[in-house]
A = this chain, B = another copy of it.
Amino acid sequence: MTAEPVDEVLGALADPTRRALLDALARRGAASASALAADLPVSRQAIVKHLTVLEQAGLVSSARTGREMRYTPRSAPLDATARWLADLATSWDRRLDAIKRAAESEDP
């Protein structure tokens, strides 16, 4: 049912290290795994793993230049997920409102 990209985005965003990584990436604009490893308190390998997850979620894109692997943040999935959340919120509100109104018109 929810095979949509939102799954992966939420999963990716759930990890604090990954969020810090995205933050560092956005600050630099684009960077390699080794460069990012200098910023964060984890090994380069850990960062590579996180970047893989983020890329699968569409939150970063990778491009090789020579021996370097450059990662760039992608905002589109963020926007999509934000809309998804907002829609879900209004959907809840509508439903709860309907239920409340139904109860009011029956009880008293």
Complex partner residue of A86 from B16, B78, B92, B100, CB under 8 angstroms? B78
Interface contact A82-B79, CB-CB below 8 Å? no
| Interface 9-mer from A7-15, A32-40, A42-50, A63-71 | A7-15
Interface status of A56 (Cβ within 8 A of chain B): no
Interface size class of A (residues with CB under 8 A): 20 to 34
Q: Which residue, of A11, A89, A95, has the highest number of chain B Cβ atoms within 10 A? A: A89
What's the Cα separation between A89 and B9 when bound, in Å? 13
Interface contact A13-B10, CB-CB below 8 Å? yes
Interface contact B89-A75, CB-CB below 8 Å? yes
Shortest distance in angstroms between A97's beta carbon and chain B's nearest beta carbon? 10
Tell me which residues from 73 to 108 in chain A have a Cβ below 8 Å from any Cβ of chain B.
Answer: 73, 75-76, 78-79, 81-83, 85-86, 88-93, 95-96, 99-100
A residues apposed to B, CB below 8 Å: 2, 7, 10-11, 13-14, 16, 19, 26-27, 29, 72-73, 75-76, 78-79, 81-83, 85-86, 88-93, 95-96, 99-100
